[in-house]
Amino acid sequence: MATVAIRYLPEQRTEFGDCVGEIRIGDFVERFPMSVFDVSPDLYIAQWKRTQARFATVPARGCFLASVLQPAAPDGRVFWWIFYRDGDAFVFQNHLLLMSAIDGAFDVEQPERWIPPRETLTEDGQRISEWRVPIAGLVVEVSE
């Protein structure tokens, strides 16, 4: 059985004062900064829980927001974990979305609107890092 888990670590801060989150995809674990200037920890957790609920329908794609910085500004950006269904598995990629690359305002309530098609190679022909977990028996956890 594979596990995907994401959680907020309220007792930790980065050297710049950002909050800290942690994602686990199978055996892979990574901590990440969560900017709270524009999005509160409660909003991140609510988005994670909405995504968690969507796994029951085996969605074609989805995301977990990691850090949202100035979403209304042209130089704003979003760091997020995007997943794509690929046969009998979900494939996760860590992405950066630049607000200058989208039409309209970014909405934390509906970030799936801006998920790009899956690519496996960079513009330079390098493989994009991916983490694969089987759908069968998958457990998705969200912790506060």
- Each residue of 102-137: pLDDT tens digit? 888 889 999 999 999 999 999 999 999 999 999 998
Q: What's the CA gap between 14 and 36, in Å, rounded?
A: 12
What are the residue boundaries of the structural domains of the chain, listed by start?
36-136
8-state DSSP, 126: P
Question: Any bridge partners for residue 31, and if so which?
Answer: 22
pLDDT tens for each residue of 16-68: 889 999 999 999 999 999 999 899 999 999 999 999 999 889 899 999 999 99
Q: What's the CA gap between 129 and 77, in Å, rounded?
A: 20
Q: What's the CA gap between 75 and 56, in Å, rounded?
A: 35
pTM for this predicted structure: 0.93
What are the CA-CA distances from residue 62 to residues 16, 19, 109, 111, 125 (Å)?
A: 29, 23, 12, 8, 25
CATH class of 36-136: alpha beta
